[in-house]
Amino acid sequence: MKPNSFDVDAILAVPLTDPYEKQHFSPNPSPALFTWDYASSRDNLSRLYEKAKTGQWNSNTTLPWHLNVDVEKTVSQDRELLGDGFDPSHYRGTVVESWGDKEWLEFGIHSRKWIMSQFLHGEQGALICTSKIVETVPWYDAKMYASTQVMDEARHVEVFARYLSEKLDGGYQVNPHLRLLLDDVLLDQRWDMTYLGMQIMVEGLALAAFGYLRQSTQEPLLKELLRYVMSDEARHVAFGVLSLKEAYDGMSDSEMKDRQEFAYDASIRMRDRFIQQEVWEHMGVKSKDIVPLTFNDPTRKVFQQMLFAKIVPNCKKLGLLDRNDGWLRQRFQEMGVIDFEHMPSGDQDYETHQAVEYAEDREMSPVNA
């Protein structure tokens, strides 16, 4: 893939998922690896495993599913706070220029359904990829922790599917760029590539997106759902950083170049998934007419760049930014996201997140109410 590729024709040439498709077969050529050494030798992973065991939660009893969700009211409130996420002046001469509140509200509702749907599909991808990590990672401690993440991901699939079904009256099929990325992650036989693709790239972007939505929405059930999911996800990203740091410290430049290119290609796929082709088509707007404009919309560009706030510092922590004469650093500079390199990496972010979670739990405790 060419650096910072904005080939709109190539992006739109990827066919949308058939709305009637019920299953997608992705070949997984990776052999399962048994390890007969059951001694715990990685204290940082053992500590995460202990945290994961005590951090399990039951969505049926923990989340306030009894709350009614008025999606029109919620989206209207979010629009008042944040706007529509687009610069109207950027769309002069298109059908979007004539949109009023009715059209923007409908767009906002379907955008909410769309993004929650992609969260759901991404979580199923994480469920399958993490089960692959259990099979392929050579370390006992990592297998044990990854087994807890499989349960976490199953719970995340459950809560997003239930929210979409019960509160939003259904959603959208998987975006084709996300589907292709998940296929890429599963097709690579190297165990660390599953970590890199899922724990660092997909989960890192998801954590940033969850955080953005949780801060911006006024909807109480969604806010609480995301709080619990983010508590798990922060632990997952830390798991990826801690595991890959050990593996990548001993790799050659050529091996690291493979990982840098994989991380960049994954970044492009994740950027391209947020063009929301399916929503534009639902609104009667042809993707080929609007996507070139959304790519260069300064308001939209800021949102897309923020999604890399967790990915870039993690790539830096793993040594991916600066190996091979800073190849990935240059690519992230071209994407306009390199300034996030100074943000906390996943292992540091997890400790901060734990402190915030503890403080929020204290605030909501009946003892302190």
Domain range summary for the chain, segments of one domain joined by +:
8-14+79-364
- Residue 368 has a pLDDT of 47
pLDDT tens digits, one per residue of 306-318: 888 899 999 999 9
Q: How confident is the model at residue 19 (pLDDT cuts 50, 70, 90)?
A: confident
What is the spatial distance between Cα 74 and Cα 66, in angstroms, rounded to a whole number?
A: 16
Specify whether the CB–CB gap between 332 and 338 falls below 8 A: yes
- Using CA atoms, how far apart are residues 313 and 325, in angstroms rounded to an integer? 18
How confident is the model at residue 197, as a pLDDT? 94
- Residue type at 62? T
What is the C-alpha separation between 115 and 264, in angstroms, rounded?
A: 22
Query: What is the C-alpha separation between 100 and 15, in angstroms, rounded?
Result: 30
Domain 8-14+79-364 superfamily per CATH: Ferritin, core subunit, four-helix bundle (1.20.1260.10)
* Structure confidence by residue, pLDDT tens digits, 195-241: 999 999 999 999 999 998 999 898 999 999 999 999 999 999 999 99
How far apart, in whole angstroms, are the C-alpha atoms of residue 313 and residue 308?
A: 9
**Residue in 335, 126, 281, 318 with CA at minimum distance from that of residue 210:** 126
Report the C-alpha gap between 75 and 85 in whole angstroms.
12
Mean pLDDT of 342-365: 65
Contact 79, 274 (CB under 8 A): no
Q: What is the mean pLDDT of residues 67-90?
A: 83
Q: How many CA atoms lie within 13 A of 111 on its CB side?
A: 20
CA distance 117 to 173: 7
Q: How confident is the model at residue 82 (pLDDT cuts 50, 70, 90)?
A: low
Enclosing H/E stretch for 209: helix 203-216
Calculate the CA 22 to chain-centre distance: 22
| pTM of the complete model beyond 0.75 | yes
Q: pLDDT category, 357, cuts 50, 70, 90?
A: low
**Confidence tier at 293 by pLDDT (50, 70, 90):** confident
